[in-house]
Chain A
Amino acid sequence: MEPLHDLTIKKFHEGLINKKFSALEVAQATFAYIKEKDKEIGAYLSLSEESALHEAEAVDLAIAKNEEVAELAGVPMAIKDAILVKDQPATAASKILEHYTASYDAGVIKKLREAHAVFLGKTNMDEFAMGSSTENSAFKITRNPHDLTRVPGGSSGGSAAAVAAHLAVAALGSDTGGSIREPAAFCGVVGLKPTYGAVSRSGLIAMASSLDQIGPFAKTVEDAAIVFRAIAGHDPLDATSQDSFYKDLTAPVLENIRSLKVGLPEEYFVGGTDPAVTAEVESAIKKLTSLGITFKKISFPHTKYALSTYYIVMPAEVSSNLARLDGIRYSRIAGRHEDAMTLQDLYFAQKGAGFGPETKRRVILGTFVLSSGYYDAYYEKAQKVRALIKADFDAAFKEVDVVLAPVTPTPAFKIGEKTSDPLSMYLSDIFTIPANLAGLPAVSIPTKPAAALAPKELPVGFQLIGKKWREADILGIGQFYEKIG
């Protein structure tokens, strides 16, 4: 069998159909490796070994019968704990959902089941996807596989670390302000946030509904494209989802890619960014130039308002989405319920004990910006600035096809470095937030393969932001970048 470290979806599929190994063998080997390695990484919150082995056996049976199987059949995948997999825990890394077991499959999980993917378990995250380091998990921290003293990024830190440490071949995360792209950059893997509406949000424990999208983590851009193709499309249970009839997501044509014009927004290349990040992103631009891609300087005048806008719109949506988590419907914290309590007392006690500090901060902030007397000054103002930020992109996309930018201002930071100062943590998302506000697809790609990193060098990612429904452009450039990388 090929070593787990070398397995991409592509290689796994070839090995499987050529009978070099069985899906069961790979699943068993992956669980054995998780049990050894995840003690130091902490990527998983729960494992589903029994059901995963059954899923793998079913794929092997189909292969034995010479049935045609999907490219994702048997692929061992990790799923962020905010995404519901029927009969598995779904805590969103929060105490208030500690005992909740999902009663149905998320839309994306239904689609992956049709492709016969194998679900290894649920991964650690910042509580309710609120954070940029996975340190806001109520249960444990996750460590960056490239440097165990550093964070994996967040909020989908467990999924990013699982793929980077070969504890899964691919994974799903969710991205509200950068929660796929930032951990992908920190862990040296590929992470895609799709166009808003490209992927169903049904069964994703909602954080901010106008911003959330589910997307893949993978070792290569091609693998990310394969997972994205499988999960994209309309779902009757998410009224904002739609079919987009993607073509050419894999096997891009060089002629088409060369004809794309890439914009470099000056506001993303100013002071404050770590020199290591700047140097790596510049080297990525050079490599893309050598492919024949042309660049053009552009300007996004409202970029500097994106962080404020996001930290008004998002908490507002958080405060209403999290109202349902009340200790009554999904899970209850023991010791915070007495028979003498009224319903309202129970809400206060359960939310007080069940929500962590960042969750409380955002629910209170969201309640404030929506409250009478402040709504116009904060929430409506932010919705207007959101329109201006989107208009910046609309104007730029008249001149260019794709926008290139850094993913993060710094490489992975130290565990504990930013936990006491929420504003400095929020600034980690400064380059990723605009794509969410504008609903655009964006991919984070490592500037170099993990094997090419010098000792102690931390991974850095660059970001490609595309037009709505044009994942093929950003994934196409990415696939050629990897060929020359």
Chain B
Amino acid sequence: MASAINKRELEHLAKLARIELDPAEEEKLLKDLGEILDYFKELQALDTASVVPMTGGTDLKNVFREDDERENTDRGAGTDAFPEKRDGFLKVPPVFEN
């Protein structure tokens, strides 16, 4: 396990997460993440080769619902909460630059 993230990696992660960071935030994050990842090193000592991962909180499998009419949630999205909309549709800026 690499125990630190460098500036270039942090910028890549921020890009993946679509978060704008200013230089002061980057500096603090590099320090904090370094310490946190260092703490995680203790897990390396543990032999888990034969352990089946626990992938969630529930034991339930294949949960189905009845195929009948459900409460109308206005196209399922709560369109009234959209900050910008037109004719009941979500309005977004262009995906591509002009």
4 nearest CB pairs, A to B:
A352-B20, A103-B78, A383-B53, A332-B83
Q: Which of A7-15, A18-26, A143-151, A386-394 lies on the face that meets chain B?
A: A386-394
Quick check: B93 and A439 within 8 Å, CB to CB?
no
Tell me the bound Cα distance from A309 to B19 in angstroms: 25
Whether A423 touches B42, Cβ cut-off 8 Å, given contacts A364-B29, A387-B51, A390-B54, is: no
List 5 extra interface pairs beyond A209-B57, A328-B90, CB under 8 A: A103-B80, A329-B81, A352-B22, A361-B33, A368-B13
Considering the complex, which residues of chain B in the window 2-56 have a beta carbon less than 8 Å from any beta carbon of chain A? 2, 5, 9-10, 13-14, 16-22, 25, 28-29, 32-33, 35-36, 39-40, 42-43, 46, 48, 51-56
Quick check: B19 and A383 within 8 Å, CB to CB?
no
Give 1 or 0 for each of A345-389: 1 = CB within 8 Å of chain B CB: 111110111010100110111011001001001101111111110
Chain B: interface secondary structure? loop
Quick check: A328 and B83 within 8 Å, CB to CB?
yes
Across-interface contacts of B5 in A (CB, < 8 A): 368
Min CB distance A335 to B, Å, is 13
Quick check: B57 and A242 within 8 Å, CB to CB?
no
Closest to B62 in A: A239
Give 1 or 0 for each of B58-97: 1 = CB within 8 Å of chain A CB: 1010010100001001100110111110000010111111
On chain B, the number of residues with a Cβ less than 8 Å from chain A's Cβ atoms is 55
Q: Which of A133-141, A256-264, A336-344 lies on the face that meets chain B?
A: A336-344
Whether A103 touches B48, Cβ cut-off 8 Å, given contacts A360-B29, A364-B14, A423-B36, is: no
Give 1 or 0 for each of A293-305: 1 = CB within 8 Å of chain B CB: 0000000001011
Tell me the bound Cα distance from A239 to B58 in angstroms: 10
- A contact set with B: CB distance below 8 Å: 99-101, 103-104, 196-197, 209-211, 236, 239-240, 242, 302, 304-305, 307-309, 311-312, 319, 323, 326-332, 337, 339, 341-349, 351-353, 355, 357, 360-361, 363-365, 367-368, 371, 374, 377-378, 380-388, 390, 422-423, 437, 439
Tell me the bound Cα distance from A365 to B29 in angstroms: 9
Quick check: A360 and B58 within 8 Å, CB to CB?
no
Tell me the bound Cα distance from A344 to B14 in angstroms: 13
Quick check: B13 and A371 within 8 Å, CB to CB?
yes
- B contact set with A: CB distance below 8 Å: 1-2, 5, 9-10, 13-14, 16-22, 25, 28-29, 32-33, 35-36, 39-40, 42-43, 46, 48, 51-58, 60, 63, 65, 70, 73-74, 77-78, 80-84, 90, 92-97
Quick check: B13 and A386 within 8 Å, CB to CB?
no
Count chain A CB atoms within 10 A of each CB in B1, B40, B63, B84 and give the residue with the most: B40
Q: Please name 10 pairs of A and B residues whose Cβ atoms are closer than 8 Å in the assembled complex, sorted by A.
A: A100-B81, A103-B78, A210-B57, A239-B63, A311-B39, A330-B81, A331-B83, A361-B33, A387-B51, A422-B32
Min CB distance B3 to A, Å, is 11
Across-interface contacts of A196 in B (CB, < 8 A): 57-58
